[in-house]
Structures are given as structure tokens and as C-alpha cells.
Chains A and B, each alone.
Chain A
Amino acid sequence: MSIMKIENLEAKIGDKNILKGLNLELEAGKVHAIMGPNGAGKSTLSKTIVGHYDVEITGGDITYKGKSIKDMEPEERALEGIFLSFQHPVEIPGVNNAYFLRTALNAKLKYEGKEELNAAEFLRAMKKHLEMLGMKSDMISRSLNEGFSGGEKKRNEILQMLILEPEVIILDEIDSGLDIDALRQVSEGINKMKDGKRTFLVITHYSRILDYIEPDYIHVLKDGKVIKTAGPELVPYLEEHGYDGIKED
């Protein structure tokens, strides 16, 4: 069953057309990997799905659970269960990490008509995730991402994902800047969320993370379009032949 359908999507950043009639269907509960060369439009695709202000949609549509989201505000898309782990998470000095996460979670719980968590309930939930991700407990009382190393920022993105429990999870180069231990811990966090119901869109340059998070589908993105969709058997082929060896479907 499809949870998200992207049809003939065209989008630009500034004056530059980046997505040029992109088609992609995400099957619910599956792990979709998007691979492609630099400049293919991978990050623009993720930004377009979440409604990033950099991007202007000039054609086509994105439907999520059967309804168009292209005119929805980013926060509404997030409340509906779409999550993006940023390639370059921003630092926000003065905003306490725990407050930020709890505010986000409680906004979502309220939207879903559920009871909000108080500070103690929230901390209890968060501390077990911190341990699994190998994060120090002081990271939750620091300002959001301020002074965090690259690996800590990516772990913090995964912490947000674990707390918010989204339905569609977009991971934009979550593996960049991670050493082997951090990659393993981040992958463990991601795999914890793989329950056959949540859908993943894993954007990556390299196959390394796909050794940890086994994808169901590989989509090759080139020049603003998905040119090929195949099973995980495509990964070793790409490793050997590169993207130039791929023929359009």
C-alpha cells in the first residue's frame, strides 16, 4: 500500500530548476533508499516533501495518505507524521534541547488528541534512548546542537525521531560525518523504528549505511528525476559501475 506518491514533481531553489518531473511512490512500512550523484536533487527532494522555505514547487504534486500536502505548512506536515533528519542540523543557541524536544512531542500529542507528557515522564522516555544512542545525559540540557560534534548532531536527529515516532522518516545523509561506532549506534536507533508500519526514505551517497539498514527498494536519482527503481541487488552494481552505468527505466 502506498503511503506517499510523488507525481511529476518540479521544484526550484532560487532560479535553478532542480526537480524535473520526478515520480516516486513510497510503499508503507518499507525502506526506500535514494541514491544518486552530487547535484541530482536528493536533498531538494527531502526539503520539498517537508515544505522547506528554500524550495518552490512549480509543478506536479505530493500526496500523503491520499491527500495533497504541497500547500500544507511544514509544521502541519510534521504533525501529520512526516519527519526529516537534516543533513546539516542547525545550532540554536539558547534553546534547551530537552525543552525543544518536549515541546515538539507535546505539540504532536496534542494534535493527536492525546495527553501531553510532563517533564518527568518525558525525561524517563528520553533517557533510555540516550543510552542506546551512546549520548551523554548532559546533551539534553545543552542548547540545541550548539557545540555538538558532527556525530552528536546526527545522534540528536535520531533522538528526535525516536521521541516523535513519525510515520514517514526521511534521513538525509544521516551517515555523513559518522565514524563506525556512531554509524552503528545511529543505525540501531533507525532499526528500532523499523516495525513494518513506518516508512523510511534514506538518502545517501554511499552504500555503507545500507549494510546496517537493509533497504527494500533502491531508487536512483539523476538530474532531478528517478531514473531507476530496483531491489537491494542494485547496490553492489552501483558500487562497481557507478551511476553512469545506470540506464533509465
Chain B
Amino acid sequence: MSIEATIARYKEDFDLFDDPNDKLEYIFDLGKKHTTLPDEDKHEGTYVVGCASDAWLVGDCKDGNLILRGEGTSEMAKGMLTLLLDIFGKRTADEILQFDPAGLQDMGIMELLSPVRQQSLQAFLKMVYGYAQNCKEQGA
């Protein structure tokens, strides 16, 4: 499923909820499937700088394919990481680099995020696109 199709699927999910609080609760709900990282993967180089709570993101690149793994500590970070890793987690570097992150707005939840959470999202995206760029360069 493409990045756009995955986003469209989440839009359908979020559209089921009339109350904005229920949309946010759904993000928490997604966090129940949140995975953790082994301790050796949690270090300065994988730390998401700018995220409101502690979070780490690991990007493993092989033959132009980027596998992302992450861990967050707050309920919101766990939920958002689960959602974003579903969208970006197993892609080619090109797929990510060709996708305009403004397309995430289509899910209809970005306006529900507080400025601090928006900043966390930007910090996450910065790392994702950084990993994707490195991965592309490795494959070149």
C-alpha cells in the first residue's frame, strides 16, 4: 500500500469519530500496538531531538529500502509513532523523499495537535527524511 493509500485509510478511520477527543483517543489506542527498541538502539544518535517526550527512531537501510523502528515514552508519542511508522516504516528511500509531508494533513488530525505536538511531529519527520536521504545516497 502506498504512503497516500495508507494516509487515506487513516483518514477513513479518523472520519468515523465525530468528537475531536475521540480522534485523539484513537491515536492513544493505536499506541497499544507500539513496539519498543532494545536499549542499545536508544542513544544520542537515535534520539528525536525536539520531541515533547523522550523518543528514539532507528533507520536501517538496505539496498535503498528504509526500515524504521521507534519507541516513545508518552501515550501520545507511542500512538503517533505507531501511526507514522505504519505510514513511513517500510518504504524505499525514494518513496519517502518523493512524498510531500504536507499530505499528512489529509488525515484531518494535524489541526487537533497542540503546538508542542506539532513540533514533535516535525522533529520526527526531520529524522525520517534525514534517514531517507542518507539511504538514497548509500544506494547511489
Please report B residues at the A interface, Cβ cutoff 8 Å.
Answer: 13-14, 16-19, 22, 25-26, 29-30, 32
Contacts and interface: CB of A to CB of B under 8 A. Distances in A.
Contacts of B32: 116, 118
Interface of A: 116, 118-120, 123-124, 127, 137, 141
6 contacts: A116-B32, A118-B29, A118-B32, A119-B26, A119-B29, A141-B19
A127 B26 contact: no
Chain A contact residues: helix, strand, loop or mixed: helix
B17 A123 contact: yes
Contact of B26 (A116, A120, A137): A120
A123 B16 CA distance: 7
A127 B16 contact: yes
Nearest to A127: B16
A4 B26 CA distance: 40
The list of the 4 closest CB pairs from A to B, nearest first, reads A120-B13, A123-B16, A119-B26, A118-B29
A120 B17 CA distance: 8
Nearest to A137: B18
A119 B23 CA distance: 9
Contacts of A123: 16-17
Contacts of A127: 16
A55 B2 CA distance: 58
B44 to A, nearest CB: 34
